[in-house]
């Protein structure tokens, strides 16, 4: 594949101790002249791996919020188009071809993409991942915080890609649990009204602290047919259920603390 000039398209990745994932991600980005990594002072071999790739530039910034970290990364880019990736997102050849066609036609300002979640390196019959805008014109977009995560404000037109990206996280279960607890703390503050505005059915179900874990468990096993994926399906289902259980516990704590302060 022809190398894509940095003035046209750059990839942006956030990292913090992504040694188990980064090689597989960067291997699928060799077609770009420049990939920018914003690292939150990793203590494993993340930077050693990144420096093996001649098209990678590295900046370090202490993490505060996802939106601020992404926006800082955008400020380091020079390209017209940006491809924003988590450090466990692996591009498919179909996605690369479709992305380049979209950029060449230049009729929209941003594009959303679907994901396929991998467990132990293999896809599932279904998963709970949602489409996300990952390809957009730099001057048209910026990030804002929303609970434990970030969202992209797009000042322009959007389209949806047919292709997909693989979501393949190989970090340890202990690391995953620690991350989810951190996310749950931020999400619980949002849902109890301390941060942002709560809307949508899923948020209302989560606020019950009872329904969400049960509904997610059966949704994954039955609706998404993960019961037919063997141990990979059970692993994903238990992880998604655990996410809701951790959030329910944090919501109980948050509400108890708020009541004690009144």
Q: What is the pLDDT of residues 52-67, one digit of tens each?
A: 999 999 999 999 999 9
Answer for the pair 115, 91: CB distance below 8 angstroms, yes or no.
no
Distance of alpha carbon 155 from alpha carbon 190, whole angstroms: 25
Residue 190 has pLDDT above 90, yes or no: no
pLDDT at 103: 97
pLDDT at 250: 94
Does 258 or 81 have the greater pLDDT score? Answer: 81
Answer for the pair 244, 206: CB distance below 8 angstroms, yes or no.
yes
Distance of alpha carbon 13 from alpha carbon 73, whole angstroms: 8
Segments in the chain forming alpha helices (H): 22-27, 46-50, 66-75, 93-105, 173-191, 201-207, 211-218, 230-261
Tens of pLDDT, residues 78-107 = 999 999 999 999 999 999 999 999 999 999
Distance of alpha carbon 34 from alpha carbon 12, whole angstroms: 9
Among candidate residues 60, 9, 3, 19, the one with its CA nearest the CA of residue 37: 60
Measured on CA atoms in the order 14, 15, 20, 22, is the torsion positive or negative? Answer: positive
Mean local confidence (pLDDT), 130-137: 96
Mean local confidence (pLDDT), 201-208: 88
Say what the pTM is.
0.89
Main-chain phi, psi angles of 144, to 5 degrees: -140, 155
pLDDT at 209: 92
Residue 196 has pLDDT above 90, yes or no: no
């Amino acid at each position: 594949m022809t190398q894509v000039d940095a003035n046209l398209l750059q990839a942006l990745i956030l990292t913090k101790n992504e040694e188990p994932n980064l090689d597989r991600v960067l291997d699928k980005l060799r077609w770009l002249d420049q990939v920018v990594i914003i690292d939150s002072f990793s203590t494993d071999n993340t930077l050693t791996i990144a420096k093996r790739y001649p098209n990678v530039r590295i900046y370090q910034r202490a993490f505060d919020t996802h939106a601020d970290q992404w926006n800082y990364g955008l400020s380091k880019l020079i390209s017209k188009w940006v491809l924003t990736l988590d450090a466990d997102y692996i591009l498919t050849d179909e996605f690369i071809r479709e992305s380049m066609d979209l950029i060449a036609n230049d009729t929209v300002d941003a594009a959303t993409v679907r994901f396929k979640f991998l467990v132990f390196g293999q896809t599932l019959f279904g998963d709970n991942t949602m489409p996300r805008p990952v390809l957009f014109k730099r001057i048209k977009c910026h990030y804002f915080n929303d609970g434990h995560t970030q969202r992209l404000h797009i000042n322009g037109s959007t389209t949806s890609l047919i292709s997909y990206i693989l979501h393949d996280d190989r970090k340890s279960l202990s690391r995953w649990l620690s991350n989810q607890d951190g996310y749950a703390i931020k999400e619980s503050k949002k849902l109890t009204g301390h941060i942002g505005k709560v809307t949508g059915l899923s948020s209302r179900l989560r606020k019950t602290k009872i329904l969400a874990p049960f509904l997610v468990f059966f949704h994954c096993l039955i609706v998404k047919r993960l019961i037919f994926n063997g141990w990979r399906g059970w692993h994903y289902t238990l992880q998604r259920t655990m996410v809701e259980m951790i959030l329910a516990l944090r919501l109980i704590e948050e509400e108890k603390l708020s009541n004690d302060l009144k």
